[in-house]
Structure 1
């Protein structure tokens, strides 16, 4: 049976259904930096308004230079996009194949992109009973069945688990040995940048690393993402992209975000501290199991019989709090939900609402 393609962050639709202003809802369903945009982004956008009289820089040259400096790669190894979702949908249409393997639970757009391109999809499902650990040897055996493309997200979404770099290195080697094109989605890796595999894929023509500026840099409304890959692979991707795919405001915001090193340091420090506090508090609520994570969200399982994540979501919505029901993720059931790490006061509101709802 097909898994429904749903997402968190649908705060506008939820607000309309409730007859509320979006600002009245505390959105824990979308994992966006609670500190907001980098301070210089607003000013940079204001100063760039006159640029909107012109077409965007088609090649996003200045943004590519900024990204290359940020990651220590060559600009020719970067393809920028209208969010990393553009790239997710582009890759199955750009690189030949018919059979794909998705490491699950996973972002629903992988399957949707593959379906639209006519690919057959299989899943390599990780178990919550072992904290969603990946066994490279078992994956290697599965790849022997003959897969043209593998989708892997690290840190996992929605699990939040961080695969050790040595395991990711082994996956890269396994894909090379089996002739499988690897799509490694690091949409949340900015929160633990030191664990990135970016320097392992840039010389591999059969691998692409995806990154997003939505989550860490707090600009989801501008839609900005990019890929890091070998220069020849990037050239193939760019050849398939629509012209002017990244607007001027997104380019300006991206450059300003990358320039603020202090913002990056503050974000990582705050998320690490608040995530640990929120996880400990959630674990103290009877009937909940919290999974460890390294991103800006936590996956939680309801252990109490007769209570589903959907029911809990509806109960919290009555209090203006929106969580992510994870029952539609491949490999998860109706007992799982995800919450973003937000500001301390907002997290405290969530905790109190959960205690009341689970009495």
Structure 2
């Protein structure tokens, strides 16, 4: 028979698609200009591999091709001829549907880069994926346990509301920074003059070197931006591995005496270790009394258990502690990393002035602005989503401990796991065999042996899948 190789349509595909009827007979070729997103579940993408009989070529394809060239010229896709032929009752082209075979259509440099990742093997494949820092929707079926987001928020209702406004938001300039700060002030119930909205928390962290000088105390291991972004500071590291990767308040208090500024990420990344409210106030007050800046990153704090949850983004706290800078990634906690949103809260007008002077007037887009505008309507949904993270974290922790893994206590949307195998090899195996990307912590500060991984908390279906895989791994 005459055969066209096709694959079920996925979001990364582009170009001609087909409809497939009974007995896998192709009933229609659909050009890019006729593509209807309402029908994507019915589409199969052509893989550009065909097998035609001599009779089909001579009696149908070539006559139609010559007629088409005569009528429309030469600069057309060959599928347009197949489109016309497919409507003839005597012309059957059967679809050979790919299942799990690897393939990628290469039209440009971006396609080549993705195809390279698809066909690489071993350490090269893992490294190629790691240096992407995101954009994993391009890799069909990849399950990302590396990057940290909230899988339970935004709610479907909120997404539908944003979709409804997409066209006008796409075509309109966003407001300037003043309006963004007002939106964020309403969101966090704090005076807008104490807030700055960034293009992700990373934008603000990068600018903090304008106000942070001298010795900077950092608990390690940590989010590397708090080291990379302060090249002019002397980084004075406090190694938490000596306390089994948990915060020790007395040790932190002693460390403050050795530095000019202190960074605290709470819960910690990558361990998930947590400092309660009373203890963090003790730390802040010591820094205040010694006239030292403290940067408090609470990007993951909303995922703490209900009785432990708190925030320092508060007018009274900001007014009282002029040495305090609070950073919060909205991308991570609210599940919208594609919008690139983060905030800085500070009661010190001079610090806010310096940071603002180094920010663009239009630093976030209209979609991100609209998210800030409507988020108060969905506050209850957000709290419920954070509670779901707590439940899934407890489930994953319990099940992996039953399987024999050491899982560190965490109050974040991730867990750190010690394994009895080479973590780099496990990361490679999970990617190659199961299309799962995890965070291998080897070579990160203090992890001198390849035995530690970090896993994001996802929904129950995904979590059950990785638990099942890791159960098998522990017995191999």
Which structure is larger by alpha-carbon Rg, 1 or 2?
A: 2
Structure 1 residue 33 corresponds to structure 2 residue 145: no
Q: 1:45 to 1:251 in 2, by over 3 A?
A: farther
Tell me what 2:451 maps to.
Answer: 335
Which of residues 124, 131, 143 is equivalent to 2:256?
143
Which of residues 413, 416, 435 is equivalent to 1:320?
435
| Residue correspondence of structure 1 range 1-359 to structure 2 within 5 A | 17-19=117-119, 21-39=138-156, 40-61=158-179, 63-92=180-209, 94-115=210-231, 118-127=232-241, 129-130=243-244, 132-135=246-249, 137-145=250-258, 147-192=259-304, 194-199=309-314, 201-203=317-319, 204-230=321-347, 232=349, 233-286=351-404, 288-302=405-419, 304=420, 307-317=421-431, 318-333=433-448, 334-358=450-474, 359=476
- Report how far residue 226 of structure 1 moved: 0.4
- Report how far residue 300 of structure 1 moved: 0.6
Q: Which moved more, 1:205-214 or 1:67-76?
A: 67-76
Provide, for residues 52-79 of structure 1, a one-character-per-residue CA deviation record: whole Å limited to 9, x for no partner.
4443211251x43343233331111110
Aligned counterparts of 1:350 and 1:258: Cα–Cα separation in 2: 34
| 8 Å CA contact 2:154, 2:382 repeated in 1 | no
- Report how far residue 316 of structure 1 moved: 0.9
- Report how far residue 329 of structure 1 moved: 2.8
Q: 1:98 to 1:235 in 2, by over 3 A?
A: same
**What is the DSSP-based 3-state SS (H/G/I as helix, E as strand, rest coil) of the residue aligned with 2:230?**
helix
**What is the DSSP-based 3-state SS (H/G/I as helix, E as strand, rest coil) of the residue aligned with 1:24?**
coil
Q: 1:79 to 1:223 in 2, by over 3 A?
A: same
| 8 Å CA contact 1:316, 1:357 repeated in 2 | no
> Structure with the greater relative contact order (CA < 8 A, sep ≥ 6): 1 or 2?
1
| 8 Å CA contact 2:303, 2:387 repeated in 1 | no
In the superposition, the TM-score normalised over structure 2's length comes to 0.66
Aligned counterparts of 2:115 and 2:401: Cα–Cα separation in 1: 29
**What is the DSSP-based 3-state SS (H/G/I as helix, E as strand, rest coil) of the residue aligned with 2:235?**
strand
- Report how far residue 198 of structure 1 moved: 2.6
Structure 1 unpaired stretches of 5+? 1-12
In the superposition, the TM-score normalised over structure 1's length comes to 0.87
Provide, for residues 63-96 of structure 1, a one-character-per-residue CA deviation record: whole Å limited to 9, x for no partner.
433432333311111100000011111001x215
Aligned counterparts of 1:201 and 1:98: Cα–Cα separation in 2: 25
Aligned counterparts of 1:328 and 1:259: Cα–Cα separation in 2: 43
**What is the DSSP-based 3-state SS (H/G/I as helix, E as strand, rest coil) of the residue aligned with 2:434?**
coil
Q: 1:42 to 1:151 in 2, by over 3 A?
A: farther
Q: What is the number of residues matched between the two proteins?
A: 337
Q: 1:325 to 1:189 in 2, by over 3 A?
A: same
- Report how far residue 36 of structure 1 moved: 4.4
Aligned counterparts of 1:339 and 1:234: Cα–Cα separation in 2: 35
Q: 1:262 to 1:51 in 2, by over 3 A?
A: same
- Report how far residue 313 of structure 1 moved: 0.7
Aligned counterparts of 1:156 and 1:55: Cα–Cα separation in 2: 37
Q: Which moved more, 1:106-115 or 1:203-212?
A: 203-212
